Amino acid sequence: MPAQPEIITERLRLLPWMLNDLEFCVALNMGPDVGRYLFVHEPPIGSEQRDLLRRNIADVWPELGTVWAVERRDDGALIGRCGLKPLENSGLVEISYRFDTAAWGKGIATEAARKVLDLGFGTFEFDPIVAVTHPKNVGSQKVPKNIGLKPDGTKFQYGLEQKTYSFRREDYLISR
């Protein structure tokens, strides 16, 4: 597995996910606007979320892929995370992103995801790369489409029927 590189975009800096990002990630996941799309039932209590995230970060999670903390370049503020990780029970690699609501609707998730997709197909040579989004999260559904993934119906993932998207490496290389 190649080393996790730092990624720079026009507005963002993506850095390896570290334990010092833990409290931000817990707050992000537990926030009502973000959390409503993450948890099928009641959200876990904060300590459960903290323990899960601490294990993920400390174990250099995930084994197949990588996750970056995303910060704004202009002020260094941490605003979310973006990465490539195994899609549960599928053998596939998923592009995943999660951002603070202040970053929503500004193209930030698309900007980060586009660079992560480039690394996924180029450096890591994953094939295919997929995405899943909550059926009610219309904003999140724009990101896979914006970076070239094609709608692929719905599949049961993470406890509910999710909208799915996919992109084959061959099609990605042709589109460049």
For the chain, which residues make up each domain, given as ranges? 7-175
CB 122 within 8 A of CB 156: no
What's the confidence (pLDDT) of residue 30?
A: 67
DSSP-derived pairing of the beta strands 129-133 and 93-99: parallel
* Gap between the Cα atoms of 163 and 155, Å rounded: 7
> 3-class DSSP state for residue 23?
helix
Q: For the chain, which residues score pLDDT lower than 50? A: 1, 61
What's the confidence (pLDDT) of residue 28?
A: 72
Residues 6+ apart with CB under 8 A from 30: 43, 46, 49
What's the confidence (pLDDT) of residue 94?
A: 93
What's the confidence (pLDDT) of residue 175?
A: 87
The correct answer on CATH 3.40.640.10 for the domain covering 7-175 is no
Identity of residue 154: T
What's the confidence (pLDDT) of residue 3?
A: 59
What's the confidence (pLDDT) of residue 23?
A: 77
The pTM is what?
0.85
